[in-house]
Structure formats: structure tokens, C-alpha cells
Amino acid sequence: RFYCDYCDTYLTHDSPSVRKTHCSGRKHKENVKDYYQKWMEEQAQSLIDKTTAAFQQGKIPPTPFSAPPPAGAMIPPPPSI
């Protein structure tokens, strides 16, 4: 018996043709897509959490654009083409 981790199911017969049919099915493809989408979201959230923690510990300086310009400050015009 073959177990598909993405679909959380066992295939009743384990043969190459059954696996190929299963893996080319719509539901299996959706499950694979959902699995990797969730994995990417977890990776992104982990990176955000690490960056936030580093910033709060003072390991990352604030960017020059994070604060509004002081009152009366002139903003330079964009470069001409």
C-alpha cells in the first residue's frame, strides 16, 4: 500500500500506473499546492518574526525613511529625465 502524505490517504493498490493516476489528479495537485503555499507562508512569517526581534533588540537600525521629515523640511524634487 502506498501512502500519499499530501492527501493523507492510502492507495489501495501500489503500482506505477495507480500512483501516476493519483498524482495527476486534480485533488492531489490542489493538496500539493496548498501544502507548499502553507510552507511558504510559514517561512515568510518566520523571517518577519526574526527581523522584528532583531529590530526590537537594536540589531537593525531604523531606516532613514521610517520617520516623517521634520516640519518645514524641503523634499528634493525627483531627478529630471
Is the per-residue pLDDT at 59 higher than 90? no
List the alpha helices (DSSP H) in the chain.
16-23, 26-56
| Residues 10-26 pLDDT 10s | 998 889 999 999 999 99
Residue extents of the structural domains in the chain = 1-55
| pLDDT tier for residue 66 given thresholds of 50, 70 and 90 | low
- As to burial, measured by CB atoms within 10 angstroms (0-12 exposed, 13-18 middle, 19+ buried), residue 6 is middle
Chain position carrying cell 496548498: 34
Nine-digit cell string for 29: 495537485
DSSP letter for 1, please: -
The architecture (CATH level 2) of 1-55 comes to: 2-Layer Sandwich (3.30)
Q: Cα–Cα distance between 62 and 64 in angstroms, integer?
A: 7
Is the per-residue pLDDT at 67 higher than 70? no
The half-sphere exposure of 50 on its side-chain side, counting CA atoms within 13 A, is 6
